[in-house]
Every structure is written in structure tokens, then in C-alpha cells.
Structure 1
Amino acid sequence: MCTAFVTTVFGVGTITAAADPGSATVTASVAHAGHTMAASLMPSGDDVDGDGYIPANPPVTGVQPSDREPAPRYFHEFQANCAVTHTAPDDPIVYPAQSGMSHDHTFMGNTATNASSTSSSLYGGNTTCKAPGDSSAYWMPSLYKGDKKILPSGPQVIYYKAGVTDYTSVRPFPKGLRFVVANPMQSAQDFRNHPGWVEGWECGESFKNVDFPQNCPTGSQLNLRMQAPSCWDGRYLDTPTHQSHMAYPLVKPGTNNNVCPTSHPVALPMIEFKMAWPVDGDMSQVRLASGRGYSFHYDFFNAWNEPTLQALVGHCIVGGLQCDARGYDQNHPGEGAALGADYRLP
């Protein structure tokens, strides 16, 4: 019997394998946080056969990317405001059921996220998000100034928006979908050219930095915005690269329209992290647990209550509104809100 080996270049999507169908364990070499860690691909949590693929059940088939141009609306989004819950060297996507294998992460949303989190364990759990129906897990590498860990304070802005021109084609995330945005091994140029780049690192009057600014004015805070891919292949909730089942919209030739590629035809909400860390002054000692500022990346594990997410997507994204976490657009009060004053379905 031969041993099955998989080499995964995390975030790049290169996988080579020589697998014995009778082997129960696959040993992987995963590039992470500036060095190589050994990780086992084995049955754990949602990945019952340990091959790194988690099929959608049922899959979404027969979808063609929409190139329709609906009536223009400047906004089609809502916010999921979620505060920090805890930090831990865990990553239930990259290192499922392997506690302590990751660099340190700062978690938001679901209060119980850990290395062994699964779709079932997260679903319906306690959350720091304003909408109790959002039990999803959100996390990113922890930020330090020297040896002091700096945590974002208060609810952080996580946008859910249309990434495609036909905002009416956006549908809710399937339960259990998860992915990683960007790559801790990326270079400064990779980070700058990443399709999820929005504005880079910012503070005071310093903008669009690929690494941390040298100095931030007293009383200012460090900010970063980064967008996730929003086109899904309809087949898998996760893949061995944690990225290949997702793609960014593309500009249709001859137009200015953003359209999902045919390989990933299902338009989902585009998540955008808008994070703010209370750190200022000399930034020379600021770093991420994953390395330099351009190693920034983040993870999303969907555990929304389905009717709640459907209401927000339908009212705010498909409806072309700029909503808060209640699904209320203060510029269009006549449209009402998707959720009640308690941020629950009415």
C-alpha cells in the first residue's frame, strides 16, 4: 500500500497528489505564516472522507452567469456588525480539528469558534453580531504592537454587497460555505494586485499602503478594507485550497459590467471587511501574527439562519438599498426594514 500525499500551496490552488484509495489519511505540507507546517487531511467535522472537498447538498446546477443590467442603484448592501469574541491559534477551515496549529487569529461573530467548529456546531450559536441570526464565524490574523495584542474595539463593519452588476441575481450563501480570502504567503505586490484590494492600510492622511504606515497620528486608528470573492461554483462548500470553489466577478468584454465567470456562475453576496484597530504613534513594531502587513487575509464560515439571511439579501441587495444591520436604509425610510428593532425577523 502506498501512502497518499498532497502538497497544497495555500491560497495559490496548486495541488498534486498520488493517492491510494485505501488510505484513510492524507498528509499535506501547507505553506502558512512564513513557513511550512504539516497538516493532516483526514475525516473530521464536515469533511467526512478527508479529501478536502465538502460537497454542497444539494448542489446548485443549471445557472448561467447573468449579464443583465437592472435599473441602476448606487447601493445594494447591508452591514453585519460583529464584535471581537476571542483570540486563539486555531483555524477550523485550514486546520480542522487541529487545535493550536495555526498562527493566532482574532475571531468575530460566533462566540464558540474553535479548531473543531463545524457547520452544525456553529449554526444557531451565540454571536456578537447585531443580528442574532448571524452565527457565522469571521476571523483574521491577530495584530500586535510589540508583544501587545491589539484588538479591534466595538462592532466591526462587515459589508454584504453585490459584486456583480446584476444585483438582482445575488442569492444567499448556502449553509456551511467557507473560504479564505487572500494568502498569508503573498508578497507586497501580490497584496496590491489582489482582486479583493480596496484601499490597503490607512491611518490619518496615509492611504493605500501595502504595509503598515510608519506613523499614525495620535488619536487615529489603523484601518483596512478587503473584499472577498462572490461567485460560487455551486458544487462545493469547501475545497483543499479553501479558495478554488470561489471566484471574483470579471468585467464582461466590451462593457463595464461585472459578471460571474462560467466556471463559478452563482452570484453570492460579496463580503467586505472594514476593520479598525485602536493603534497609533510609531508603527515600526506593528505586525500581524502572519507576518508583515501585506500578509493580511481572512476567513468566513457561513452559519446564518437561512430565513434571516434571505430577508436581508432580498430587501437590501436585490432591492438596491444601503442598509444597516437591521436591513433599514435611512435614505429610503419608506422601504421599511428587513428585521425588527431587536434585529430579528418580525
Structure 2
Amino acid sequence: MRSSPKRLPALLLGTALIASVLGIGTVASAANSDSSAPTTSTAAASTHTGHVMAASTKASGDDPDGDGYIPAVPPVTGVTPSDRTPPPAYFHEFQANCSATHTAPDDPIVYPGQFGKSHDHTFMGNKSTNAASTTASLYGGATACKAPADASAYWMPSLFKGDQKILPVGPQTIYYKSGVTDYTSVRPFPKGLRFVVGNPMQSAQEFRAHKGFVEGWECGDSFFNTDIPASCPSRPDVQLNLRMQAPSCWDGKYLDTPDHKSHMSYTVVKPGTNDNMCPASHPVALPMIEFKMAWPVNGDMSQVRLASGRGYSFHYDFFNAWEERTLKALVDHCVVGGLQCDARGYDETKPQRGAVLNADYRLP
């Protein structure tokens, strides 16, 4: 393994080794990272065989030595978390509208190169995503996102009603927002960054307390559910919805770490204020991804479940493969610019500001 002063604590690595020997999984977070990610016990893991969050232990195209650390080249250094309060802007976001492309029991972040190792996932965006996906294989690939420059891979556990797999219909809303108060400090994702949001092993209480929890499972007038509701109104306009936010502060050093979380952190509150800023350990402010998913299912929901288990096992993955110029243009115009943009980078309430992309969703 690489010699690095920024590795995960020895306790975490030791726990992962024990879990490997026992045939179970473990999730733990390094200090100042995603502290809402729970640590699983042996008993809990044994009840979710096949759904544990494993540490990377296998060589892959992006991680040839298989230690789970993928360094950023070059790293981002010399950044101090911004604690300034910019001019008020209620919105600072744009949308990446991406449709579901396929499903497979693969996970190129958690189980790189291990086909069929994961529970079933529904993939959005890049059409080629599979267990062997790397930055190089995704970048520039065919995509089901409206912007052809977004070849990123987005995925989540598949949803079932009984034995029927229910796929989201049409472009799903994936927001790119500012997670920090100083939205002018947000910069684009580095090429190849990847992370997991949430944990298939989490309990209902841990899901509700997760820093990325927004409104839980929704349908009709029912909100803030930690599990999938037992029933939803049987109306054409009712779907099952879920929103969940990702951490948006990066350590500037690694594109991935063995637990797929420790290189990222949620924001912290500036003392004496209500302002959000990045912690010193993760000083680089990146866009905050928010999944807003909708599944076409309603009525009797008693047989609706996720491939990973109960509704509170929901989690999702992101693997960045944006074309750099396009992502920077959208971030600068919409996030840093304090706008509420659609997938073209256009804010209909401020038409005078123009759009980033043309009618074909490409840079002019």
C-alpha cells in the first residue's frame, strides 16, 4: 500500500481486515468525513449478506495496486475553506437530466472488475457502465443525459414490486447545487472523482439522521418517510419519489478511498452563524449532487422493495466523467453565478443572463 500520512486510521483498516476474514462488510468513516455513515456490526452484516459496503481490495484500471486509494493528479493544494458570505442568491444550481439506461448486479466503485458481485443496480447517464468501468472507459462515452458532455455514471439500487423491476421513466432530476454558503467558491468536479452516498446497511434511524436526508420517501401527501409507504394514492399523477443529497467538500487528494467516502465530507456550520462551509480537512468546495428520483408505482406498495433491502437501505453512487470545459461552464454560470438553471444552463426567470449550451445541449 502507498505510504501516505493521510490514510484512514489504523483502527478502520484493521476493522476492514477482520471483516474480510469473517466474510462480512464494514462501513466506517475517518474523522471529519461523512460522519453520518454508520459502522455495521457483525450481527447486522450477517443479515444483509451481499448488501454490505466492502472496502476496495481488488486491482482495477484506475487502481492498479488495489489498495483503494486513487490519488488526484495533480492534487489540489493551498485551498482554505471559504467562510465569506456572498451577495444573496436563493438559487445556485443546474440540472443534469439523465435517464435510466440498464440494470445489472455490478458496482464499479465498490466491486471494481467483479461482475455480478453486487445487488442489482439501475444505471443512469453513461450507457456503458458495468463492473469494469474506469475513468477512461466512461469519458466521452454515449450517454442518456441531455447534455452529451455528461458521460458520468449515476446508479442506485433497483426498485421491485414483487418480482417486477420498476424503472424510472424519462430524464431524472439530478441537481448540481452549492452546498456551501459561499456559492462563489464552488469549483467543478475533478475528472474521475467517485463516491457513494448513504449505506445499504443503515437502519431506519440512521437513514433519517443521515446528513444527506432531505424529505425521505414521498408519494401523494405523504412525506418524510424513512421506509417505502405501505400504500400510495392510485392516481396517474402519483409516483414514488425520493430526494437525497451528497457531500460536497473534497480533500483535494484522492479521487476515491477504500470506504468510498472518506475523501468527501458534508459541510460544517461556521461558528456563531447559520452559514455552511467546508471543514479544514476537506477544504475544496464542489457541486452538491442531489438525486430527485421518481418511480412509476402507486396503490398497494406492500411488495415494493429495493434490491438492497428495505427503503431505508437506499444509497447511490456517482462517477464523474464530464467533459471538463462543459462542466466548468455550467458550474461558473449557474452555481457560481447564483442562477436556477435547467440542463442547458438557462434560468427562465433571468433570460437576460443567457444559456450555457445551445439547443442541442452542447457548448456553442
TM range (shorter): over 0.9
Q: What whole-Å deviation, never above 9, does each CA across 1:88-132 have from its counterpart, x for those lacking one?
A: 000000000000000000000000000000000000000000000
Q: Against the structure 1 CA distance between its residues 248 and 263, is the aligned structure 2 distance closer, same or farther, given a 3 Å change threshold?
A: same
Q: How does 1:18-167 map to 2 (within 5 A)?
A: 34-35=48-49, 41-167=57-183
Q: CA deviation at 1:31?
A: 5.2
Q: How does 1:253-268 map to 2 (within 5 A)?
A: 253-268=271-286
Q: Against the structure 1 CA distance between its residues 33 and 298, is the aligned structure 2 distance closer, same or farther, given a 3 Å change threshold?
A: farther
Q: 2:109 & 2:64 partners in 1: Cα distance?
A: 14
- SS state of the match for residue 154, structure 1? coil
Q: Against the structure 1 CA distance between its residues 325 and 10, is the aligned structure 2 distance closer, same or farther, given a 3 Å change threshold?
A: farther
Q: What whole-Å deviation, never above 9, does each CA across 1:234-292 have from its counterpart, x for those lacking one?
A: 00000000000000011111001100000000000000000000000111101000000
Q: How does 1:193-342 map to 2 (within 5 A)?
A: 193-219=209-235, 220-342=238-360
Q: CA deviation at 1:42?
A: 2.7
Q: 2:149 & 2:132 partners in 1: Cα distance?
A: 21
Q: 2:230 & 2:93 partners in 1: Cα distance?
A: 33
Q: 2:55 & 2:69 partners in 1: Cα distance?
A: 15
Regions of 4+ moved over 3 Å: 7-11, 29-33, 36-40
Q: 1:202 & 1:78 partners in 2: Cα distance?
A: 23
Q: 1:332 & 1:316 partners in 2: Cα distance?
A: 11
Partner of 2:17: 6
> Residues 32 and 185 of structure 1 are in contact (CA less than 8 Å); yes or no, is this contact kept in structure 2?
no
What letter is aligned with 1:315? Answer: H
- SS state of the match for residue 309, structure 1? helix
Q: CA deviation at 1:48?
A: 1.4
Partner of 1:17: none
Partner of 1:24: none
What letter is aligned with 1:107? Answer: F
Q: Against the structure 1 CA distance between its residues 271 and 46, is the aligned structure 2 distance closer, same or farther, given a 3 Å change threshold?
A: same
What letter is aligned with 2:158? Answer: S
Q: Against the structure 1 CA distance between its residues 40 and 63, is the aligned structure 2 distance closer, same or farther, given a 3 Å change threshold?
A: closer
Q: Against the structure 1 CA distance between its residues 225 and 285, is the aligned structure 2 distance closer, same or farther, given a 3 Å change threshold?
A: same
Q: CA deviation at 1:13?
A: 2.9
Q: CA deviation at 1:326?
A: 0.2
Asked if residue 174 in structure 1 is aligned to residue 190 in structure 2, the reply is yes
Q: 1:119 & 1:216 partners in 2: Cα distance?
A: 40
- SS state of the match for residue 253, structure 1? coil
More strand by share: 1
- SS state of the match for residue 271, structure 1? strand
Q: CA deviation at 1:10?
A: 4.3
Q: 1:232 & 1:40 partners in 2: Cα distance?
A: 19
Q: 1:327 & 1:81 partners in 2: Cα distance?
A: 12
- SS state of the match for residue 158, structure 1? strand
Q: Against the structure 1 CA distance between its residues 328 and 39, is the aligned structure 2 distance closer, same or farther, given a 3 Å change threshold?
A: closer
> Residues 99 and 171 of structure 2 are in contact (CA less than 8 Å); yes or no, is this contact kept in structure 1?
yes
> Residues 109 and 127 of structure 1 are in contact (CA less than 8 Å); yes or no, is this contact kept in structure 2?
yes
> Residues 161 and 270 of structure 1 are in contact (CA less than 8 Å); yes or no, is this contact kept in structure 2?
yes
More helix by share: 2
Gaps of 5+ in 1: 15-28
TM-score, normalised on structure 2? 0.88
Q: 2:142 & 2:49 partners in 1: Cα distance?
A: 34
> Residues 33 and 184 of structure 1 are in contact (CA less than 8 Å); yes or no, is this contact kept in structure 2?
no
Q: CA deviation at 1:7?
A: 4.6
Q: RMSD of the TM alignment (CA)?
A: 1.9
Gaps of 5+ in 2: 1-13, 20-24, 31-41
- SS state of the match for residue 298, structure 1? strand
Asked if residue 345 in structure 1 is aligned to residue 359 in structure 2, the reply is no
Q: 2:326 & 2:284 partners in 1: Cα distance?
A: 20
Partner of 1:22: none
Q: 1:102 & 1:108 partners in 2: Cα distance?
A: 17
What letter is aligned with 1:175? Answer: K
Q: Against the structure 1 CA distance between its residues 7 and 136, is the aligned structure 2 distance closer, same or farther, given a 3 Å change threshold?
A: farther
Q: Against the structure 1 CA distance between its residues 315 and 11, is the aligned structure 2 distance closer, same or farther, given a 3 Å change threshold?
A: farther
